[in-house]
């Protein structure tokens, strides 16, 4: 049984969060920043940064963004779903051959 208040994630999602946390940690280490230095610059608690680096799913998205900003990686967040191949395929499946474009842009 899960602890009360703790979100239970599927193993695949847990691995994904751990990999994200590891990437953040590696970026910090490449910049020769201690966890305390990065946390202070990001305006978060050191323990929160360590939770992020360990892949804790309860860490707020804003914490990730603040951390990426300090690391100079804030633009990386914009790469999420940039090339949404599945979305494009699903959209194309919904388009019928011979269907006309909407007239909302017509003048």
Domains parsed from the chain with CATH numbers: 11-94 (1.10.260.40)
pLDDT in tens, 47-94: 999 999 999 999 999 999 999 999 999 999 999 888 899 888 888 887
- Looking at residue 1, its pLDDT comes to 42
CA distance 62 to 69: 10
In this predicted structure, what is the pLDDT of residue 41? 98
CA 70 to CA 49: how far, in whole Å? Answer: 12
Report d(CA 69, CA 42) in Å as an integer. 8
What pLDDT digit, counting tens, does each position of 19-41 carry? 999 999 999 999 999 999 999 99
Q: What pTM was estimated for this model as a whole?
A: 0.74
């Amino acid at each position: 049984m899960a602890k009360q208040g703790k979100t239970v994630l599927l193993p695949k999602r847990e691995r994904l969060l751990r990999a994200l946390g590891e990437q953040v940690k590696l970026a910090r280490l490449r910049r020769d920043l201690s966890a305390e230095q990065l946390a202070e610059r990001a305006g978060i608690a050191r323990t929160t940064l360590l939770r992020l680096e360990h892949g804790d799913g309860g860490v707020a998205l804003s914490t990730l963004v603040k951390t990426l900003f300090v690391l100079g990686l804030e633009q990386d967040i914009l790469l999420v779903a940039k090339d949404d191949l599945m979305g494009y395929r699903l959209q194309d499946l919904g388009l019928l051959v011979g269907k006309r474009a909407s007239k909302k842009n017509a003048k």
